[in-house]
Amino acid sequence: MSVVEIVDHPLIQHKISLLRDRNTGTKEFRDLVSEVAMLLCYEATRDLPTEEVEVETPIALARTKVLAGRKLALVPILRAGLGMVDGMLSMIPAAKVGHIGLYRNEGTLEPVEYYCKLPNDIAEREVIVLDPMLATGGSAIDAITTIKKKGAKHIKFIGLLAAPEGMKALHEAHPDVDIYVGALDERLNDKGYIVPGLGDAGDRIFGTK
Ligand code: PRP
Ligand code: URA
């Protein structure tokens, strides 16, 4: 059974409220995206396997645990997913990072892929796809389809905000993928924006509007 989780930790709710505020400026917005990504990373990696090791403390020998098993790869969806990478890497610094470039055609809302560069050994890695916004779900669905075609079998998706339409579409298209988001909003508007949402994540991270 895959996980579909709204991670409503108080710190995440607080930071997402600041992200929603139209008066939050670019630098603060960027910092908050990174911080929420770090908090979501904590929850999404809860099931990583560990193994026991022996460590000499200044006092005695400790039997303790370290991460074991498959290595990780982060795949941000360009552009806005880039804003989540630093926060994730601060938790899992050894992860490799691939990139998928997708933009939504503003008329059809269909995603258009323009770039894809993934680690060569992506098939052997646990992959975490990053995008702050899960709106119609089209971008996340296409990105994950591309990653699966390269052989990856263990994939998670982390987003900041989701619309019910996007959550449902992603879960139906890729029922094996665990989904972690910080908040589930009311709906999409007729332009495919999440309501109430936070606006255009890419533009707010990069200051392009
Ligand atoms: C935004 C967002 C997601 C996508 C979500 O990207 O970052 O990738 O829209 O919408 P969907 O779930 O309906 O596909 P956008 O297309 O605006 O590109 P950008 O990040 O380059 O601005
Ligand atoms: N992409 C965004 O950046 N914001 C939305 O609300 C929907 C898609």
Question: What is the band of 69 on the pLDDT scale with cuts at 50, 70, 90?
Answer: confident
Alpha helix locations (H) across 71-193? Answer: 85-91, 138-149, 164-173
Is residue 203 part of the annotated active site? The answer reads yes
Query: What's the whole-model pTM score?
Result: 0.96
pLDDT at 104: 86
Q: Calculate the CA 65 to chain-centre distance.
A: 26
Q: How many Å lie between the centroid of ligand 1 and the Cα of residue 103?
A: 6
- Return d(Cα 109, Cα 106) in angstroms, integer: 5
Q: Round the average pLDDT of the chain to a whole number and report it.
A: 96
**Which residue in the list 108, 121, 176, 208 is annotated as catalytic?**
108
The mean pLDDT value for 81-94 works out to 97
Please list every protein residue whose CB sits less than 6 Å from any atom of ligand 2.
80, 133, 135, 192-194, 197, 200-202
Closest CA to 41 of 124, 129, 118, 145: 129
DSSP 20: H
CA gyration radius for the chain? 18
pLDDT at 12: 98
Q: Which atom of ligand 1 is nearest to the CA of 79?
A: 20
Is residue 200 part of the annotated active site? The answer reads yes
